[in-house]
Chain A
Amino acid sequence: MEINVTLNGTQRTDDVEPRQLLVDYIRGTGNTGTHIGCDTTSCGACTVLVDGTPMKTCTMFAVQATGKSLTTVEGLKQNGALHPIQAAFKEKHGLQCGFCTPGMMLTSAALLEENPDPSEDDVRWAISGNLCRCTGYVNIVKAVQHAGELIREN
């Protein structure tokens, strides 16, 4: 079936089988920053913003994204500069192996869009659908709060 999506600001038309998962479609476009972790709706590594809302793309079909705007980690940077969430993850060492990081940053970017000054509890609650097996979350939480500071300063 033909789908029309806006992927990181660029309109695309593609032909997909109904059973193709959105995450496989996205990775097939070369945007391999979106990771497949558990493939069972648990880990959040495949999180992408669909019309601004975080969704687990292993649990959506590509056909369901037609007419939608998708933002992956490749679409976070603004005018060639790192998005505040990316700058903050770098600054606060919010990653180790980096596998969960794209999903973690997209979920956090959506949180900061709603609430640029989240408490530690707010951050931990918001990212509770994104699993990290390296960091123990401490530096991720610090990074999200720091990103909030960067956003509030601008």
Chain B
Amino acid sequence: MFPPAFEYSAPTSVEEVLATLAAEGDGARVLAGGQSLIPMMKLRLASPAYLVDINNVSGLDYIEDVNGHVAIGALARHRDIVNSDVIASTNHAMASAAPWVADPIVRNRGTLCGSVAHCDPEGDWNSVMLAARAQVVAQSSTGERVIPIDDFIVDFFTNSLQPGEIVKEVRVPKYSGSGGGAYLKLERKIGDYATVAVASQIELDGDGKIAKAGIALTAVNNKNTRASAAEDALVGETPSDELFREAGDLASQAANPETNVRGTADWKREVVRVYTRRGLETALAQAQG
């Protein structure tokens, strides 16, 4: 298979990338890892008139600890996240999700920022980003804006970028106190999309109560979804088995899955319930450890 014809350039600076996007308008798309975009083009689900390849821009592959957050640049590959000491020491949910994104060869090429921008409801990263309350840095030739992840994810394969903007960076806040998190993913075979997955993260205050909670669901709605009622039930409470069971029940109510080749709707809701509880147990153990 080959995609429809397109024009192509591979600038070497962010400024050139932004100028090209501004000049080419709505028909232009950014090509980073391409592990989702190229298959979509081959299937004619996407047919951009112009591809701006950012792989030759140096200095965009960073994963850095700065000012209370971890900044992940547009060309940090999934493999870089897997191998990052900064991620391993700052965010448990990210560290646990990274090895389960696609397969090792795709992880060599695909990027976190590209996956976030793609907004595939079966994608892993946006649930982790919701649980961690990440921010997306969108840059265009006229400036930069910082978008909370809840506002960035609009719908099925739809983000809130404007024409001319790129995802230059994703910022993941560090825990303010002790924290923990997990990404539990059920897949039919290794490397597959999630049948169901749940990202969870909690932070404890000085009294051991839950100060912050993040729970988000993959592949059970038309977009990665925050389980707000479950989060609200946790905040301010002392962790207990009963509380985590309640959060699991509430999270499963936020799921609206479809019965398909990967499983029935009822079964997927049940997996959400169990994975939320288990994820919270893991997160608590880490936060207390």
Give the interface of A toward B (CB within 8 A). 1, 17-21, 24, 39-42, 44, 47, 53-56, 59-61, 63-64, 107, 125-130
Contacts and interface: CB of A to CB of B under 8 A. Distances in A.
Interface string B1-43: 1111111101000000000000000000000001100110010
Given A54-B105, A60-B109, A64-B34, 10 more contacts: A18-B8, A19-B3, A21-B2, A54-B104, A61-B34, A61-B38, A126-B104, A128-B104, A128-B190, A129-B102
A128 B53 CA distance: 28
A53 B3 CA distance: 25
B39 A59 contact: yes
Contacts of B6: 18-19
A61 B55 CA distance: 12
Contacts of A56: 35, 105-106, 109
A85 to B, nearest CB: 16
15 contacts: A18-B8, A21-B2, A54-B104, A54-B105, A59-B35, A60-B109, A63-B8, A64-B10, A64-B53, A107-B104, A128-B190, A128-B191, A129-B103, A129-B104, A130-B105
Most buried by A among B4, B5, B6, B10: B10
B34 A1 contact: no
B158 interface: no
Determine chain B's interface SS by DSSP, over half rule.
Answer: loop
A41 B35 contact: yes
Given A40-B39, A41-B35, A41-B39, A47 B105 contact: yes
4 closest cross-chain pairs (CB), A and B: A129-B103, A18-B8, A129-B105, A128-B190
Interface of B: 1-8, 10, 34-35, 38-39, 42, 51, 53, 55, 102-106, 108-109, 190-191
Given A19-B2, A20-B2, A41 B8 contact: no
Contacts of B104: 54, 107, 125-129
A60 B106 contact: no
B262 to A, nearest CB: 15
B108 A60 contact: no
B126 to A, nearest CB: 19
A72 B180 CA distance: 43
Contacts of A127: 104
B7 A128 contact: no
For B8, B38, B102, B105, which residue has the most chain A Cβ atoms within 10 angstroms?
A: B105
Contact of A55 (B1, B8, B105): B105
